[in-house]
Amino acid sequence: MPDLRTSLLVEPGRKVRLESFDTSATHGYEKPDGLEATSEQLVRLGSLQDRLWAEAKRSVLVVLQGIDAAGKDGTINKVMEAFNPQGCPVTSFKVPSAEELAHDYLWRVHKAVPRKGEIGIFNRSHYEDVLVVRVHDLVPKAVWSKRYDEINAFERHLADNGTTIVKFFLSISKDEQRARFQARYDDPTKRWKFSMGDLEERKHWDDYQKAFDDVLSKTSTAWAPWYVIPADRKWFRDVAVSTILADILEGLDPAYPAPADLPPDLVVE
């Protein structure tokens, strides 16, 4: 099988155009093999998290971005189930509150960065401040255009202080988004997730694609790389995210700490 960590990486400095990506690609995997591989990676992820938690010296931040219905919630449900929730906080960034708006746009994000030993998940993130605000003209271009460099500097600060950052962009086609919206509406157990606002946002598809292009092109760095995940096929999304994340955690080589002040021949009676 191909090295997904290499083939799906956005190399720093690369100019990205999402229209050139195949959102239904499976990179040589068939569904049965993919499902089996995901199961294997989940076991691996659980073991690696346990070691990272016990070591308590570093943290990992996983950023999930994508257009509405791209599968951010599904990825958390299917992949992050490998983790003990005590050491895996999930933060979902909604419309900023009055308190958050009274601070700089990164204030609420920095508060949510995982502690040492934790694997933190961002469902959407600080990138909303160069996506939604751009598409809907919420702040002038002179303001949001500076934020790419600010975000890179912020992520560099986190990396320099022991946080490994892994960013996944879940890429789906416009047809797939339509199908998922329809499926939500048709399923009584999922209709609560459907909103007419989703259809309004869909009208801005092209604008969002351009905004995503710039995010991926300008903020994939050596210390906080982006991976573009073909996400039309949910099973491949899961194997790609789980494999890349497990490989990165394995590279950190977290280790259980040596027991302190214990006699080598202790017998508990």
- Residue 3 DSSP symbol: -
Whether 5 is covered by a domain: the verdict is no
Strand order in the sheet with 59-65: 9-10, 226-230, 163-171, 59-65, 119-123, 90-92
Instruction: Identify which of 151, 80, 160 has the alpha carbon closest to the alpha carbon of residue 120.
Output: 80
Whether 259 is covered by a domain: the verdict is no
Whether 16 is covered by a domain: the verdict is no
Q: What CATH code is carried by the domain that includes residue 209?
A: 3.40.50.300
Whether 264 is covered by a domain: the verdict is no
Whether 127 is covered by a domain: the verdict is yes
pLDDT, one tens digit per residue, over 200-222 is 999 999 999 999 999 999 999 99
Using DSSP bridges, classify how beta strands 226-230 and 9-10 pair: parallel, antiparallel or unpaired.
antiparallel
Examine the pLDDT at 14 and tell me if it is beyond 80: yes
Q: What is the structure's pLDDT at 260?
A: 76
Q: Check: CB of residue 205 under 8 Å from CB of residue 18.
A: no
What's the sign of the alpha-carbon dihedral 41, 13, 206, 91? Answer: positive
User: Which range marks the domain in which residue 94 is found?
Assistant: 23-252
How many domains are there within the chain? 1
Q: What is the structure's pLDDT at 263?
A: 78
CA 229: distance to chain centroid?
10
Question: What mean pLDDT comes out for the span 87-93?
Answer: 96
Q: What is the structure's pLDDT at 267?
A: 78
Mean predicted lDDT score pLDDT of the chain:
96
Instruction: Identify which of 244, 171, 237 has the alpha carbon closest to the alpha carbon of residue 21.
Output: 171
Whether 180 is covered by a domain: the verdict is yes
